[in-house]
Amino acid sequence: MNTIDLEKQFQDKIDREIRIEPRDWMPEKYRQTLIRQISQHAHSEIVGMLPEGNWITRAPSLRRKAILLAKVQDEGGHGLYLYSAAETLGITRDQMYEQLHSGKAKYSSIFNYPTLTWADMGAIGWLVDGAAIMNQVPLCRASYGPYARAMVRICKEESFHQRQGFELLLSLSKGNEAQRKMCQDAINRWWWPSIMMFGPTDDASPNSEQSMRWKIKRFSNDELRQKFVDMIAEQVKILGMTLPDPDLKWNEARGHYDFGAINWEEFWQVISGNGPCNKQRLDTRRKAWEDGAWVREAAAAHAAKKAARAQQHAA
Amino acid sequence: MKQYIRKYFYGDYGEGRNGAADISTGQAKQEWPLWEVFIRSRQGLDHKHVGSLHAADAQMAIENARDVYTRRMEGVSIWVVESKHIHASNPDEAESFYDPANDKVYRHPTFYDLPDAVKHM
Amino acid sequence: MYSPLIRYTLHLADNALIMGHRCSEWCGHGPVLEQDIALANLALDYVGTARNFYQYAAEMINAADPAQKATEDSLAYLRDAGDFYNNHIAELPNGDWAQTTLKEFFFSVYLQAVYRQLLNSADTQLAAIAEKALKEIDYHVRWSSEWVVRLGDGTEESKERLLKALDEVWLHTGELFASDDHDAQLIQENIAADLQLVYTHWRTTVEKVFEEATIAVPAPAKTAAWMGNGRKGIHTEHLGYILAEMQYLQRAYPGCEW
């Protein structure tokens, strides 16, 4: 069968909502797109452990400490599921790490912002995880089987993340003046970066059409962003707080909230390395990896010794 | 000139911005082997494939599977097998493998039309 | 002043909290993703155990003096270092992976023996908490002893690092078995664990695992009375920093709900 027929057959499978599995034939570009997207997603989870990990040792109650630790640990788990999914496409985790550590691979720009107060733990859960969930739910139906399955597992686990964030902010909003101030300040700082998380605005492009056609993606950035804004604009009222956007208002005709212009310059600057914490985050990841090299070698060496001894014993 | 307007998607910042597209870089040195994990969610059920992980040896693989895949009481028993030991059927041969079962409808109980009077069958 | 039983319960709670705090410092920085997740599980076990013991201690404190209004959080966040009764080994810095796993090995084997004895404690609440904690600590012993063996019998570098860690940590193992003034009474009442018996289990296990790790067990660590011990609220310099970090929000914003 020639490539054109194979591609036609492949697209036909996708159109009929048949999942693609690792050993199935797939266009090289499909494989590359998936590797890029899944590994970026995995890196985002791993780097995403750091801004929140920053507060584990300072959590203000034992209950909050346990919740935050479990949440950050979950993110490690999610990174692991995603790296595993990408590995079915013929790339190793070490190779993906190398791309991350060398600065070649990207990850979600949101994690390059600093977590300055305890309220940031709430804002991240509510806004950042909220945005992530909105993006991730449709990915549970992505055309590539291992990716979709990883996303199902992730979405299931993620459901407590957003709730704990909102609950944390709710406690602050019911607290004293200082706590309410802390709460509003965190919302002010995290609002714009979190709506940037949906990515640049939709203008038709060959690239995206392809992703849609391959059903790696099912909704456009702007569709999801609007959905998110509509949801958060209502929820913020329960907190008795405001969103830092003077242009935010309900548009009866559209049936949606209108919102102000996003600073895309900031988005591209942060993506390309000039965010407040890019260097710090990458340095931390690199250090963990390099400091761990002797540990990984030791475990491998011990496993090899044990295997050799077992073989000798058997002989 | 042809003008491409790019459209980006969540988790996809595009190759034009140095996305991770190229996998040809450096060979991993001594990466711990990859293991496939199978978990029995409760007694009486089959072990089911849940994903994979890295570990230096089988014992560590089981423990890692416990720590990674059963954090929410998902399992009561774990199997691990090094991924390289899995032999799989070839999807290219799917037709000759699986299609022949298509026309053996007589293997299914619904194939047989029996009077309603016949109970418990 | 707290009763001996309350003090003993706080000692058990503080041990779990401070060690849990140290383990949690690794989150996001582990040598490999799977082990990062494993260590966070250990930390979560410890924090959970600490909460159980604190809640019980708070109950007893409030029963003795209703004006106290103690909670798990007031006990964890509003006592100063001199009122913490954890062992020194729990508060030592993590160091590298060798020091972390070795500390966790010594400590979890010690706790394993303590909790096993507490299963038969005359205080049924302590016994119940120990029963739950023991299941978790058995896994900690398994996890940490395997790492000690891997590092001891791994590469030259890993062995060297393990020996260096041993040099750092061993001195503090003596303090694990130093008694509080009230121990004799609590042991007589069959409430607390007898540290003599704990030591026997501890030494035997350490010898067994070290043999597999191909390293020698040093002579018992001496802890002289003048060195002080955690059971009496005398600590290393490290605890003050842990508390400064851990208690900062509760101290900076007193009386808040979080």
Residue pair C47/C142 in contact (Cβ under 8 Å)? The answer is no
Whole-number pLDDT of residue B20: 34
> Of chain C residues 74-93, which have a CB less than 8 A from chain A?
76-77
- Distance between CA atoms of A185 and A194, rounded to whole angstroms? 14
Chain position carrying tokens 């590298």: C96
Nearest CA in chain B to A153: B50
Residue pair A183/A240 in contact (Cβ under 8 Å)? The answer is no
- Distance between CA atoms of C174 and C183, rounded to whole angstroms? 16
SS (H, E, C) A150-192: HHHHHHHHHHHHHHHHHHHHHHHHCCCHHHHHHHHHHHHHHHH
Indicate yes or no: CB of B51 within 8 angstroms of CB of A150. Answer: yes
Tell me the chain A residues in contact with residue B17 when contact means C-beta distances shorter than 8 Å: 106, 268, 271-272
Residue from C242, C250, C247 nearest C21 by CA: C242
CB–CB contacts below 8 A, B to C:
24
The pTM of the full predicted model, rounded to 2 decimals, is: 0.92
Query: Is the per-residue pLDDT at C126 higher than 80?
Result: yes
- Distance between CA atoms of C79 and A203, rounded to whole angstroms? 59
What is the CA A148 to chain-centroid distance, rounded? 15
Of residues B53, B56, B63, nearest to C143 (C-beta): B63
- Distance between CA atoms of C157 and C161, rounded to whole angstroms? 6
Whole-number pLDDT of residue C29: 97
Site from B2, B22, B23, B70 to mutate, A interface, most A CB atoms within 10 angstroms: B23
Chain position carrying tokens 């549970």: A140
Per-residue DSSP letter, A249:
E
Q: Chain B: give the shortest CA distance to residue A278, in Å.
A: 15
Q: To which CATH superfamily is domain C4-252 assigned?
A: Ferritin, core subunit, four-helix bundle (1.20.1260.10)
Residue pair C45/C51 in contact (Cβ under 8 Å)? The answer is no
**Mean of pLDDT values over C45-60:** 98
Q: Which chains touch B (3 or more CB pairs under 8 A)?
A: A, C
Q: Chain A: give the shortest CA distance to residue B94, in Å.
A: 10
Q: Chain B: give the shortest CA distance to residue A99, in Å.
A: 7
Residue from A224, A19, A10, A225 nearest A140 by CA: A19
* E strand map for chain A: 249-251, 256-258
**Predicted confidence band at B29 (pLDDT cuts at 50, 70, 90)?**
low
Residue pair C14/C24 in contact (Cβ under 8 Å)? The answer is no
Query: Is the per-residue pLDDT at B23 higher than 80?
Result: no
CA torsion sign for B87, B92, B95, B96 is: negative
Q: Chain C: give the shortest CA distance to residue A149, in Å.
A: 19
- Distance between CA atoms of A248 and B118, rounded to whole angstroms? 69
Of residues B8, B15, B32, nearest to A296 (C-beta): B32
Give the helix ranges, DSSP H, for chain A.
3-15, 28-53, 62-87, 93-101, 119-123, 129-139, 145-173, 177-196, 206-213, 221-239, 264-269, 278-291, 293-314
Indicate yes or no: CB of C27 within 8 angstroms of CB of A58. Answer: no
Whole-number pLDDT of residue C225: 64
Chain position carrying tokens 């000039």: A274
Q: What are phi and psi of B42, to 5 degrees?
A: -155, 165
Whole-number pLDDT of residue A209: 73
Complex confidence, ipTM: 0.96
Of residues B30, B54, B91, nearest to A23 (C-beta): B91
Residue from A38, A2, A3 nearest A144 by CA: A38
- Distance between CA atoms of C2 and C75, rounded to whole angstroms? 12
Query: Is the per-residue pLDDT at B5 higher than 70?
Result: no
Indicate yes or no: CB of B55 within 8 angstroms of CB of C34. Answer: yes
Of residues C72, C97, C248, nearest to A62 (C-beta): C72
Q: What is the pLDDT of residues A13-49, one digit of tens each?
A: 999 999 999 989 999 999 999 999 999 999 999 999 9
Per-residue DSSP letter, A128:
I
Please report, for residues A106, A126, C35, the alpha-carbon distance to residue B35 in angstroms, rounded to integers and kept in the order given. 27, 35, 15
Q: Chain A: give the shortest CA distance to residue C76, in Å.
A: 8
Q: What is the pLDDT of residues A204-246, one digit of tens each?
A: 444 667 888 888 888 888 999 999 999 999 999 999 999 999 9
Tell me the chain A residues in contact with residue B26 when contact means C-beta distances shorter than 8 Å: 95, 98
Whole-number pLDDT of residue C204: 97
Whole-number pLDDT of residue C193: 97
Of residues B18, B52, B54, nearest to A106 (C-beta): B18
**Mean of pLDDT values over C163-171:** 96
Per-residue DSSP letter, C30:
-
Residue pair C34/C67 in contact (Cβ under 8 Å)? The answer is no
Indicate yes or no: CB of B63 within 8 angstroms of CB of C38. Answer: yes
CB–CB contacts below 8 A, A to C:
141
Query: Which residues contact residue A201 at a Cβ distance below 8 angstroms, ignoring those fewer than 6 apart?
Result: A221, A222, A262, A264
CA torsion sign for C174, C10, C201, B62 is: negative
In one-letter notation, the amino acid at residue C204 is T
Please report, for residues A192, A292, C100, C101, the alpha-carbon distance to residue C167 in angstroms, rounded to integers and kept in the order given. 51, 21, 13, 14
Domain boundaries, chain C: 4-252
Query: Is the per-residue pLDDT at A194 higher than 70?
Result: yes
Whole-number pLDDT of residue C224: 66
Whole-number pLDDT of residue B58: 95
Q: What is the pLDDT of residues A84-141, one digit of tens each?
A: 999 999 999 999 999 999 999 989 999 999 999 999 999 999 999 999 999 899 999 9
- Distance between CA atoms of A254 and A168, rounded to whole angstroms? 33
Tell me the chain A residues in contact with residue C73 when contact means C-beta distances shorter than 8 Å: 61-62
Whole-number pLDDT of residue B103: 82
Token pair recorded at residue C258: 């979080």
**Predicted confidence band at B37 (pLDDT cuts at 50, 70, 90)?**
very high
Q: Chain A: give the shortest CA distance to residue C116, in Å.
A: 25
Token pair recorded at residue C60: 């007893």
Highest mean pLDDT among A58-72, A149-163, B67-81: A58-72
Query: Is the per-residue pLDDT at A247 higher than 50?
Result: yes
